[in-house]
Structure 1
Amino acid sequence: MMVVDDHEVVRTGLRAILEPEDDIEVVAEAPSAVEAARQADAHQPNVVLMDVRMEGMNGIEACRIIKNSHPDMAVLMLTSFSEEEAVTSAIMAGASGFLLKNVGRAELLKAIRAVGAGQSLLDPAVTRSVIDRYAKLLESERDRAVDAISDREREVITLVAQGMTNRQIAEQLVISENTARNHVSRILEKLNLTRRSEAAVFAAQHGLLPEDG
């Protein structure tokens, strides 16, 4: 594995924890994100233990570069703070795990072995904040998707949800069947859906159906 931190005392401390372990070998260390990318190419560690905040390029950018070149290389991020944005960015960059620096020795070793075995993990202290952030992002994406639908497309998705075929939609809206088909295709594309049944569920979940009565 490789240890990456811009503080020598931290790298030395981590080595002191890791090197006595029979199943863990530190093959490289790096004081910067740029050097980490180089060392990853040179030594091919199966696990990279990397600080998030470093001078110059940060650990998240380095993680993205390393994962682009070595998709199977596990990157375990370390930070001093439970930062929602940093956690989310690290996950999006391909990190396998995220730990706070105050983690205990046993927990650190367990995490390294877990990501080395292909598992993903988050420190319990940051899991809740990540879940909350993703929930907000998901809600925001849904709102944007609804806003992207035109008035005509709202009419069409309502009829799709009622089980109408393209021909029936065309007759209802006094348009050609081909135009109706194109509307349905655009709706599915905008909402990132693949089936009419999914569009019907989306319409019901987002208040696009007319109220009874």
Structure 2
Amino acid sequence: MARIRLMIVDDHEVVRLGMRAAFELEPDIHVVGEASNGAEALAKISVLMPEVILMDVRMEKMGGIEACREIRSEHPQIAVLMITSYPDDEAVTASILAGASGYLLKNVSRTELLKAVRQVAIGQSLLQPESSQKAITQMNSLASHSTSIPGNDLTEREREVLALIARGYTNKQIAEALYLSEKTARNHVSHILEKLGLSRRSEAAAYAVEHKLTTPRRQNN
């Protein structure tokens, strides 16, 4: 019997150990490896060759949403199952846009976790239809939002913040990454939403992905 090759990505070692223990006695699932962040996961994929990746949403260095986007782009055959500690509609939408096959909370039962991995391994989606429709609606809206040059009204700092929003960063994480106060980061996010005519962070993330604004623009000297 072929075994599902599973990779666990979470920045907490205790969580990774707990998840690994949940799969150890399953004859059809084999944990091929672990990673502590998205960047490490990307570096290990070609060696571990997982079929399913159980990915934490928020991690240092590279969060799960950005990593999911990269993985699905480079390895479309791999199913990514996002997992997080608390419900977040914006993160769900961003995960869908990044290509995730499912979204779970960490308090899910062992039975439900095993079922989820098995389902995405055979190509099924665990995403609710209303969540998928919401993401599609946002993408269509953003695609026709403006005929002007995408992000042209944003300052260099705002583009840096927008790139981090697209990676799933919180205001606190944005502040730490750019050496700002959390209040300043929050103000930048508000200005970005206002300039783009958007109301939610998930919409800004979708806009950044759609218009390839996930890396800061270099200033001309």
Q: TM-score range by the shorter chain?
A: 0.5 to 0.7
Is 1:57 aligned to 2:58, yes or no? no
Superimposed CA distance per residue, residues 146-167 of structure 1 (whole angstroms, 9 cap, x where no aligned partner):
x98xxxxxxxxxxxxxxxxxxx
Change (3 A) 1:33 1:49: same
Partner of 2:76, secondary structure, is coil
Kept in 1, the 8 Å contact 2:39–2:62? The answer is yes
Q: TM-score, normalised by structure 1?
A: 0.60
Displacement of 1:111 after TM fit? 0.2
Superimposed CA distance per residue, residues 66-112 of structure 1 (whole angstroms, 9 cap, x where no aligned partner):
11111010000001121111111111111111111111110000000
**Equivalences, count:** 142
Distance (Å, rounded) in 2 between the aligned partners of 1:140 and 1:73:
28
Change (3 A) 1:108 1:130: same
Counterpart position of 2:114: 109
Q: TM-score, normalised by structure 2?
A: 0.58
Distance (Å, rounded) in 2 between the aligned partners of 1:54 and 1:114:
25
The list of structure 1 runs, each at least 4 consecutive aligned residues, that deviate by more than 2 angstroms after superposition, is 127-142
Over the matched positions of the two proteins, sequence identity in percent amounts to 54
Which gives a bigger RCO, structure 1 or 2 (Cα 8 Å, sep 6+)? 2
Show structure 1 runs of 5+ residues with no match. Answer: 149-213
Show structure 2 runs of 5+ residues with no match. Answer: 1-5, 148-221
Is 1:22 aligned to 2:27, yes or no? yes
Displacement of 1:137 after TM fit? 2.9
User: Greater helix percent: which structure?
Assistant: 1
Superposition map of 1:37-56 within 5 A: 37-56=42-61
Superimposed CA distance per residue, residues 32-89 of structure 1 (whole angstroms, 9 cap, x where no aligned partner):
1111111112111000001000012100111111111110100000011211111111
Change (3 A) 1:138 1:12: closer
Please give the root-mean-square deviation of Cα atoms over the aligned residues, in Å: 2.4
The partner residue of 1:89 within 91, 94, 101 is: 94
Is 1:31 aligned to 2:36, yes or no? yes
Counterpart position of 1:120: 125
Task: Name the stretch that deviates more: 127-136 or 83-92.
Answer: 127-136
Distance (Å, rounded) in 2 between the aligned partners of 1:50 and 1:31:
10
Larger Rg: 1
Q: Which amino acid aligns with 2:69?
A: R
Partner of 2:99, secondary structure, is coil
Displacement of 1:131 after TM fit? 5.9
